[in-house]
């Protein structure tokens, strides 16, 4: 089992790896002359299905990261080939078929899946083949610990970090009782329970905390139960199906300014989806989500893909692309069984750097590096989780316009 202990190969140790045979992916050892096989990326993201709105920002961020790497000369002097695509479609069987296809196409690194449940569907296929998997949006608590191979990593923070941030926001707004409704999957249940526990610790009553089937055709019973709880605030851990719940609650007399969402509803177009004729209907709705990334990165991404509207998790996916490439640079190998050992090392306890080119050049000079991602400092723990993260408080104004209202940084080891 590969160790996730932070390592730093010396030049001599790195040279010894050149005689090893690649396995588990398409990569072979390469040197700075670019003579080895190029590092091959693939992704498993939702191109279709009810979570397809989460696909474009992650796909674009992945392609943007690879373009930045190639603009800097590639990995070990060899440009990266086009990223291989796979559709998770919010369907476990289809997601796993996509992952198998990427493994068969000799992917060394698979970015995704987007949904925590879809990662559970593909993790054994990917990590069992000794291919590195990195997700920028998996937040279900305990997910990284389920992987016993050492090949799974995530740059998105666990929901155990987001729940207290949301609870603190609700407390600061003066609410005394809260109804929580959530999609009945690992993501929904984990974040709902983390939020409920933090609310109770803040002395706030949790009047209702129940899951729902996200694939049901009608959410009237969910709306009735939540409205009937007579709480003064409502938390929804939802994806796009949350639009129907929001609409139903508003029709039941619950104000948008009493509602809170999480990352699944952090959608710049949410107000138009709730009421295209009057987006101001969503005025006052607030929520929490991992921050999308630094403004310079977001400007660059929007220039790279001018049609991009939703930005959620784009920074985290970009960081997956960069940190995995840096691990390969530090290992001087495109073999995932070799560079997986460097994933932790490039994320902490070294000279801070914030771009592939800057970090790559420091590695070439013999420096240990500490990659500072566009979504945060990264700092992987032994399970492949990030230990600190920046969360945004988002909201919608009187015109239904989405904006980031505040940022809060959390360190799980503090």
How far is the C-alpha of 205 from the C-alpha of 251, rounded, in Å?
Answer: 24
pLDDT band at 149 (very low <50, low <70, confident <90, very high): very high
pLDDT band at 35 (very low <50, low <70, confident <90, very high): very low
pLDDT at position 29 over 90: no
Domains and CATH numbers, the chain: 11-156+313-379 (3.40.50.2300), 160-289+391-411 (3.40.50.2300)
Q: What's the confidence (pLDDT) of residue 374?
A: 95
Supply the DSSP string of 163-209, one letter for each residue. HHHHHHHHHHTT--EEEEEEESSHHHHHHHHHHHHHHHHTT-EEEEE
Q: What's the confidence (pLDDT) of residue 22?
A: 36
Percent of the chain with pLDDT over 70: 91
Q: What are phi and psi of 240, to 5 degrees?
A: -65, -25
How far is the C-alpha of 364 from the C-alpha of 321, rounded, in Å?
Answer: 19
Among candidates 151, 149, 147, 214, which has minimal Cα distance to 187? Answer: 214
C-alpha count within 13 angstroms, C-beta hemisphere, residue 340: 30
pLDDT in tens, 96-143: 999 999 999 999 999 999 999 999 999 999 999 999 999 999 998 888
Q: Are the C-beta atoms of residues 226 and 201 closer than 8 Å to each other?
A: no
Q: Are the C-beta atoms of residues 162 and 185 closer than 8 Å to each other?
A: no
* Torsion angle of C-alpha atoms 238, 287, 394, 323, degrees rounded to 10: -60
pLDDT at position 14 over 50: no
pLDDT band at 414 (very low <50, low <70, confident <90, very high): low
pLDDT band at 31 (very low <50, low <70, confident <90, very high): very low
pLDDT in tens, 372-401: 999 989 999 999 999 999 999 999 999 999
pLDDT in tens, 219-244: 999 999 999 999 999 999 999 999 99
pLDDT band at 24 (very low <50, low <70, confident <90, very high): very low
Q: What's the confidence (pLDDT) of residue 243?
A: 96
Mean pLDDT of 299-327: 96
Q: What are phi and psi of 216, to 5 degrees?
A: -65, 150
pLDDT at position 25 over 80: no
How far is the C-alpha of 49 from the C-alpha of 195, rounded, in Å?
Answer: 28
How far is the C-alpha of 95 from the C-alpha of 45, rounded, in Å?
Answer: 8
First to last CA, the chain: 29
The DSSP call for residue 23 is -
pLDDT in tens, 201-225: 999 999 999 999 999 989 999 999 9
pLDDT in tens, 173-186: 999 999 999 999 88
The DSSP call for residue 412 is T
How far is the C-alpha of 29 from the C-alpha of 22, rounded, in Å?
Answer: 7
Cα dihedral 132, 133, 139, 144 sign = negative
pLDDT at position 348 over 60: yes
Q: What's the confidence (pLDDT) of residue 413?
A: 72
The DSSP call for residue 327 is H
How far is the C-alpha of 28 from the C-alpha of 283, rounded, in Å?
Answer: 54
pLDDT in tens, 269-294: 999 999 999 999 999 999 999 998 99
From residue 223, how far is each of 63, 138, 206, 251, 252 by CA, in Å? 39, 27, 17, 10, 8
Q: Is 406 helix (H, G, I), strand (E, B) or coil?
A: strand
Give strand pairing partners of 36.
none
Q: What's the confidence (pLDDT) of residue 186?
A: 86
Q: What are phi and psi of 300, to 5 degrees?
A: -65, -40
Cα dihedral 52, 56, 58, 59 sign = positive
Q: What's the confidence (pLDDT) of residue 3?
A: 39
Among candidates 57, 145, 156, which has minimal Cα distance to 410? Answer: 156
Cis amide linkage into residue 379, ω under 30° from 0: no
pLDDT at position 76 over 90: yes
CB burial class (10 A; 0-12, 13-18, 19+) of residue 362? buried
Q: Are the C-beta atoms of residues 172 and 156 closer than 8 Å to each other?
A: no
Q: What's the confidence (pLDDT) of residue 145?
A: 87
pLDDT band at 34 (very low <50, low <70, confident <90, very high): very low
Among candidates 25, 6, 43, 116, which has minimal Cα distance to 333? Answer: 25
Q: Are the C-beta atoms of residues 367 and 406 closer than 8 Å to each other?
A: no
């Amino acid at each position: 089992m590969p160790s996730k202990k932070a390592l730093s190969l010396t030049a001599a140790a790195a040279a010894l790896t050149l005689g090893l045979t690649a396995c588990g992916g398409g990569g072979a050892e390469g040197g700075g002359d670019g003579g080895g096989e190029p590092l091959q990326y693939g992704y498993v993201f939702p191109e279709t299905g009810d979570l397809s709105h989460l696909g474009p920002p992650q796909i674009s961020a992945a392609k943007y990261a690879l373009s930045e790497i190639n603009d800097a000369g590639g990995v070990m002097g060899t440009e990266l080939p086009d990223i291989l695509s796979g559709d998770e479609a919010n369907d476990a069987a289809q997601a796993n078929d996509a992952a198998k296809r990427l493994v068969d196409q000799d992917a060394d690194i698979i970015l995704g899946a987007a949904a925590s449940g879809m990662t559970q569907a593909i993790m054994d296929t990917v990590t069992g083949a000794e291919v590195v998997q990195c997700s920028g949006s998996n937040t279900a608590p305990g997910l990284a610990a389920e992987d016993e191979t050492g090949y799974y990593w995530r740059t998105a923070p666990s929901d155990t970090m987001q729940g207290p941030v949301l609870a603190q926001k609700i407390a600061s707004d003066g609410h005394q009782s809260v109804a929580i409704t959530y999609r009945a999957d690992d993501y929904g249940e984990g974040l709902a329970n983390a939020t409920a526990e933090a609310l109770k610790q803040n002395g706030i009553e949790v009047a209702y905390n129940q899951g729902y089937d996200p694939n049901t055709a009608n959410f009237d019973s969910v709306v009735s139960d939540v409205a009937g709880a007579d709480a003064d605030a409502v938390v929804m851990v939802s994806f796009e199906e949350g639009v129907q719940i929001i609409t139903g609650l508003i029709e039941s007399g619950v104000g948008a300014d009493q509602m809170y969402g999480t990352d699944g509803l952090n959608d710049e177009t949410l107000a138009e989806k709730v009421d295209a004729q009057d987006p101001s209907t969503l005025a006052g709705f607030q929520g929490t989500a991992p921050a999308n990334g630094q403004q310079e990165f977001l400007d660059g991404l929007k220039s790279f893909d001018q049609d991009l509207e939703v930005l959620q998790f784009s920074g985290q996916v970009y960081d997956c692309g960069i940190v995995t490439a840096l691990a390969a640079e530090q290992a001087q190998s495109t073999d995932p069984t070799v560079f997986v050992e460097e994933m932790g090392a490039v994320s902490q306890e070294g000279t801070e750097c914030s771009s592939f080119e800057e970090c790559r050049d420091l590695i070439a000079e013999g420096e240990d590096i500490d990659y500072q991602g566009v979504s945060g400092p990264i700092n992987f723990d032994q399970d492949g989780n990030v230990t600190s993260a920046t969360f945004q408080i988002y909201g919608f104004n009187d015109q239904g316009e989405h904006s980031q209202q505040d940022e809060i940084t959390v360190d799980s080891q503090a």
